[in-house]
Amino acid sequence: MEMMQGKNKVLLFRRLADQNTEAAKLAFQTEHTFSYSRSLDRIVTKDGTIVKVGELESEVSIEAIQAKDDPVRDMLRNAVLKGEKLELWEVTVDEELKDTDGKYPAVYCQGYADSFEDSAGAEDESTVSLNFIVELEPQFGFATLTEEQEQAVQYAFRDTTAAI
């Protein structure tokens, strides 16, 4: 059994309002966590305990390195400030897991960023922390990465000749 590498899971974001005009943008995260939880209430009856199942709650927390003039950072900060709805994809960029159409396994969701922190340590890179609250239930499927997105994730080997 081969292990899944965390570095192969990347997040892409887009304002929902831009879905017809822009491709999703990559955040250069150093770490992220996609969490799912559901409250379970125990009700004690004379015959034994029964469980009342609550609604699914999902959220994504990320840490990312800031690039200079980073449009993704600005978009995410503005989404928190203005309460804008976002789209988020967690894409597993692993050639062995691509489907027959060349798409990668992905989780898609919509929701809102409820916190944004801009950290600037004296000896470290400037980072951003964000917490994204998923609305409704995440959807699982396959996603296409544009050539630009794939190059941002990992550049491919090139020959020494001029690229045409």
Domain ranges of the chain: 8-153
Distance CA 9, CA 62 (A): 12
- Residue range 112-135: mean pLDDT, rounded: 88
Cα separations in angstroms, 151 against 121, 145, 146: 29, 9, 9
pLDDT in tens, 81-113: 999 999 999 999 888 899 999 899 999 999 999
Asked if 52 and 43 count as a contact pair (C-beta separation under 8 A), the reply is yes
CATH number for domain 8-153, candidates 3.40.50, 1.10.10, 3.30.530, 2.30.110: 2.30.110
User: Which of 15-24, 37-46, 77-86 shows the lowest per-residue confidence on average (mean pLDDT)?
Assistant: 15-24
Cα separations in angstroms, 83 against 69, 97, 113, 116: 22, 35, 8, 12
Distance CA 145, CA 138 (A): 19
Structure-token pair, residue 2: 């081969």
pTM of the entire predicted model: 0.84
